[in-house]
Structure 1
């Protein structure tokens, strides 16, 4: 069930919220149980056959975490932790990586083993990593809230279940204990709805319009020219940006309706001046998980530069594989690991002006996205060759006519003109320009909502405090909501659903 669908907006969400609020007046436990069942229904809407897998994972990790917490500081806790993490990773490997490993073994050794055709359960990476963190924290003595209904809700909570953020039990389960979060508050509704509309607009109006323009290059003919290659790759760069940013906004906005605050997961990453800054801004909760549960346990930066670079590379390679079972994701992660190593070696000696640093970081990220999106290594290298100008420069004849007298000079400089494709070329660069201006020059969602005083005004009539939308903000949200809803006749999945 997609956030950007009529079934979700006009059926599931109102029913789930109404039941949550009504039951919350009687019992926190009943309301938490209702929201857990609603979240399971939300997940089962995709394929109910995978509900036992999710429920089994929850019960296993809950029981294992309780057993570990009861034995904290004893050798048995370590053995149980190893058992729990091993079981979680085994489940992930079977469903997500077994086909890759067997296919690779067949290619390298000619084994001829049958490759399993397993459907990847939605959100398996997210709910697996979430529960591994729970087990590790139980071993470290950091788990204090142990009610099953709250743990089940923490794992299945529908705003984050499919595509994140990767939640930490400490920041979520404590919120499920607070009775005031089970009350419908007008301020939560206003701010949550506003954030949700921002995310919906990013997805429907920007990402979905960029998608076919990116697909035309990644799935089209080989040997793209310089401008065609860059146009398609930049279209994907901004499609992924607004698709994931939109999902993150919608998740935060939806959760706010239920009185629960999710952690920030996206913070204008293309404005980053270094690769490490990029990872502090992109998928922030995954970066936090990889830092706290992989990079630091490996030793972090405490054992000299060589060990630090090895830890960085290991973390990013595994982070790449987390995104998908393909060598392209491993290459993408390895490229970012190399970027981080170069950055740390470089920053000790040189410092670039911020505009140049942002441009260089953005260019490095764009190059890496080619491996992230391409389905084959040959296709990625061919596209990179086009971006480097090795396939020449080609323009549609219609674009050449728009240049007027400059067309002969362009032809003399080696630019080739070809029939057709003018509308696609203009549309691609038009949308890329609009997306770039928004991403680089406009404040992001949380910056806008941090200054909501002019939009959501607090007034104090004789009956007490209440909140109301300013007329300008209400009209703007109403218009944006109407345009988005009218565009939902064919809702598209979020890109991070595949991870």
Structure 2
């Protein structure tokens, strides 16, 4: 199920929290009962995943069974030469399993990339001794933990286990619960109201590339940048909010990436745990920066090409990865001679480059991506199409505008569009990170009212929502 669904909001989440708190109270005084709490998390997470259908559930369970057996075998063989062979086979099995689904063109299980990467991390860390023993309830709860199951963050088992132990020792704190709900409400608003509204405009734009004017083409590209931002940021906020209610802290995975001043800074802020995963399990094993500058640059390019392939199997994703990889390498080469530009200019340049690269990420073909870029320069001066503007005419906004004098102005038809653009720009470039805001904000009447407004507005808009974009990777 999705966070942005009636069944999750009104049934699963409240029931799960009540049962979790009850079992946690028993587990706190009896360490032997802690396995029951982990089993509860695993079982609840399977229930969370089951609505995606039996094919997805079967693929997940097969991955768990195979990797559980491999983990059990690794425990007795780590450190030995044949243990190295076994861990290599275990990693290869997972990579082949992932690629088989990614390239079959028929069926791609929901969240397979994320839980497969968690499997690889678990097996490698188990072999290296970073995980002391194979604990079945702990392994199951780690792989299945529903707040991070669909889109991450990718989390090492040792970090997960430490946080789980802390959550078992925590007492029910109503201020913490409210902070978690406050954070969840901000994430839900980002997804349902912002990301999905921008998504409608993006879909229209990519379906009508040949007719776009220059301004429309630029707007469609910017809209997709905003859609991705609020979709992924919204999920991260909701996942962190649910965990906070449980007394569990997820690692920061999204830290205002459009405030980045260069591409290196961007990748320290966007999908932070995926970057760390690629660094630990691909970049460093390839040699990292230990074998000379040329080898380091090649390793970086390999990582970004792998990142492109991880996101999709088309040439558009390879181009997207290459665009990021090339600029990343060039930026590393220039680190001793950085550009002396104002911060705002560097942020703007980085955002424009990232936005142009996102076009390849979204387009069905390289031809479509180049066509959209071409329309930015050849589309000519043209007013914004009513079909594009209407994507932003939410009833709750449009009705207010219709009864005001603004309706008589020439730009009235486009005002909802520009309200969304201005609000989005303020949030991504100037507003504090939602997780930091939820942590530092004084909990009182103002935050309670804001939480209620955001939740109600989002819930009544569920009928028009879509799935999260990163669930497709």
Please say whether Structure 1 and Structure 2 have the same fold, judged by a TM-score greater than 0.5: yes
- Bigger radius of gyration among the two: 1
Instruction: Point out where structure 2 has 5 or more consecutive residues left out of the alignment.
Output: 27-32, 387-409
Residues 373, 323 of structure 1: CA spacing in aligned structure 2 closer, same or farther, 3 A cutoff?
same
Q: Larger relative CO (CA 8 A, sep 6+): 1 or 2? A: 2
Task: For 1:208 and 1:344, locate their aligned partners in 2 and report how far apart those are by CA, in whole Å.
Answer: 36
Instruction: Point out where structure 1 has 5 or more consecutive residues left out of the alignment.
Output: 100-116, 399-420, 457-469
Please state how far the C-alpha of 1:385 moved relative to its aligned partner: 1.2
Match of 2:460 among 486, 490, 495: 486
TM-score, normalised with respect to structure 2: 0.89
Match of 2:41 among 35, 38, 51: 35
Q: Determine whether 1:270 maps to 2:258.
A: yes
Aligned to 2:94: 88
Please state how far the C-alpha of 1:227 moved relative to its aligned partner: 0.8
Please state how far the C-alpha of 1:355 moved relative to its aligned partner: 1.9
Q: Determine whether 1:367 maps to 2:371.
A: no
Task: For 1:125 and 1:78, locate their aligned partners in 2 and report how far apart those are by CA, in whole Å.
Answer: 24
Verify the 8 A CA contact 2:118 2:143 in the aligned structure 1.
yes
Deviates more, 1:18-27 or 1:363-372: 18-27
C-alpha RMSD of the superposition = 2.1
The within-5 A match list for 1:63-78 is 63-78=69-84
Partner SS state of residue 378, structure 2 = coil
Verify the 8 A CA contact 1:145 1:173 in the aligned structure 2.
no
Task: For 2:383 and 2:161, locate their aligned partners in 1 and report how far apart those are by CA, in whole Å.
Answer: 56
Q: Determine whether 1:10 maps to 2:10.
A: yes
Bigger helix share: 2
Q: What do the CA deviations read for 1:330-355 (whole angstroms, capped 9, x no partner)?
A: 11111110110111123332323222
Match of 1:393 among 376, 381, 394: 381
Q: What do the CA deviations read for 1:123-157 (whole angstroms, capped 9, x no partner)?
A: 00000011111111122221125310111010001
Deviates more, 1:236-245 or 1:24-33: 24-33
Match of 2:438 among 421, 444, 449: 449
Q: What do the CA deviations read for 1:263-283 (whole angstroms, capped 9, x no partner)?
A: 111000000011011011001
TM-score, normalised with respect to structure 1: 0.84
How many residue pairs match? The answer is 443
Aligned to 2:146: 158
Please state how far the C-alpha of 1:491 moved relative to its aligned partner: 3.0
Residues 397, 120 of structure 1: CA spacing in aligned structure 2 closer, same or farther, 3 A cutoff?
closer
The within-5 A match list for 1:116-131 is 117=106, 119-131=107-119
Verify the 8 A CA contact 2:308 2:317 in the aligned structure 1.
yes
The within-5 A match list for 1:17-416 is 17-26=17-26, 27-99=33-105, 117=106, 119-178=107-166, 180-181=168-169, 183-222=171-210, 224-353=212-341, 354-387=343-376, 389-396=377-384
Task: For 2:185 and 2:167, locate their aligned partners in 1 and report how far apart those are by CA, in whole Å.
Answer: 27
Q: What do the CA deviations read for 1:214-247 (whole angstroms, capped 9, x no partner)?
A: 1221121415332111111101110110110000
